[in-house]
Structure 1
Amino acid sequence: MREVEVVGVRVERPTNQPLVLLRETEGNRYLPIWIGAVEASAIAYAQQGSSTPRPLTHELMQSIVEALGDGLEEVRITEVNDGVFHAMLHFESGAEVDARPSDSIALALRAGARIVCTEDVLDAAGIEASRDEDEEIEKFREFLDHVLPDEFRGGSGEPPDPEPEV
């Protein structure tokens, strides 16, 4: 397993499909994973440390884990099949839960948990970066410093209709 860090999220053009970009902490490979708009917003909010007036799904999940006396220890990105990534949540109690990487990453950022990836996944889907590409990644990081999480909602830039409070 190789530890990875979240570089950030962005919307890929022309498809308007969000992706999260991970980078090996001890290496020069990047791992792009295409994700949904809601998860992109959740990851961006977590990275920016933004709070919301009401808990979003990933904030709620973190609160539930803590209320049950457990903690998220590690997220493991375990496989990729036909472009579909799989992850496992590993908790301090020893419990393991199958999850999508996008949800796992959003939760890991909120919990301060480490994110790791198998060598097989990095070999299959990782991209080795050159010095020029590293400069592009730095430009991407600068972009992330100025983008708002709401910009990842929906292809039109409009947020989805809020769920009614019950």
Structure 2
Amino acid sequence: MYKPMVISGLTVDPVTNSPIVILKEIDGEETLPIWIGLLEATAIASELEGIKFSRPMTHDLFRNFLEMVGVQIQKVEVCDLKDNTYFAIIHFSHEGREMTIDARPSDALAVSLRAKAPIFVSDEVIRKSSQIDLKAEAQDKSEKGKKWQEILEGLNPDDFGKYKM
């Protein structure tokens, strides 16, 4: 069974310095933290804050393309959790055909925000999430990864209007 959820917010894991998107059940108390990448966190944050760029970002480009060819995003499902990795499916329709495509949850969530599509999480994923190994190390420990982390942490919504894309 799937529970309807919304993006409640973004935070940073104090141990790994990785961004986390927090999903919250619409009519309940369940929450689900999903560790995501820095660029995906920026894509989600900019949409949550209503920040518009002068040029389309990747998820905006994807949405624009789907609209142009008549594809409608129906919903997003976070459907599995294996080895500390979440899996998602984007459900869409085109010319009366219902289809799905595999996606990273962070990308699926960024697209769902732009398409105003509902988000669902399976009960099994919520159950498995309580068993996540929180001692797992951040994958990108490089200087470049640390630099991106510093940039994301230092972003202020007002900064987005300052730079031309």
TM-score by length of 1: 0.76
1:98 aligns with 2:81: no
Q: Quick one: distance in 1 between partners of 2:13 and 2:116?
A: 27
Structure 2: where are the runs of 5+ without partners?
Answer: 132-146, 155-164
Instruction: Select 1:125's aligned residue among 121, 129, 146.
Output: 129
One-letter amino acid of the structure 2 residue matched with residue 58 of structure 1: H
The aligned residue for residue 35 of structure 2 is 34
- After the TM superposition, which residues 117-156 of structure 1 pair with which residues of structure 2 at under 5 Å, given as runs? 117-125=121-129, 154-156=148-150
65-74 vs 5-14, which deviates more?
5-14
Identity of aligned residues (%): 34
The aligned residue for residue 88 of structure 1 is 89
CA RMSD of aligned residues (A): 1.9
The aligned residue for residue 50 of structure 1 is 51
- The alignment covers a number of residue pairs equal to 135
CA contact (8 A) 1:77 1:101 kept: yes
- After the TM superposition, which residues 9-28 of structure 1 pair with which residues of structure 2 at under 5 Å, given as runs? 9-28=10-29
Q: Give, in angstroms, the shift of residue 126 of structure 1.
A: 5.4
Q: Quick one: distance in 1 between partners of 2:28 and 2:130?
A: 11
Say which SS state the counterpart of residue 15 (structure 1) adopts. coil
Q: Quick one: distance in 1 between partners of 2:24 and 2:130?
A: 9
The aligned residue for residue 139 of structure 2 is none
1:111 aligns with 2:111: no
Q: Give, in angstroms, the shift of residue 15 of structure 1.
A: 2.2
TM-score by length of 2: 0.77
Q: Deviations over 1:96-154 (max 9, x none)?
A: 10000000000000110000011100111159xxxxxxxxxxxxxxxxxxxxxxxxx81
The aligned residue for residue 70 of structure 2 is 69
Q: Give, in angstroms, the shift of residue 23 of structure 1.
A: 0.6
Q: Quick one: distance in 2 between partners of 1:13 and 1:154?
A: 15
Q: Give, in angstroms, the shift of residue 4 of structure 1.
A: 0.6
Structure 1: where are the runs of 5+ without partners?
Answer: 128-152, 160-164
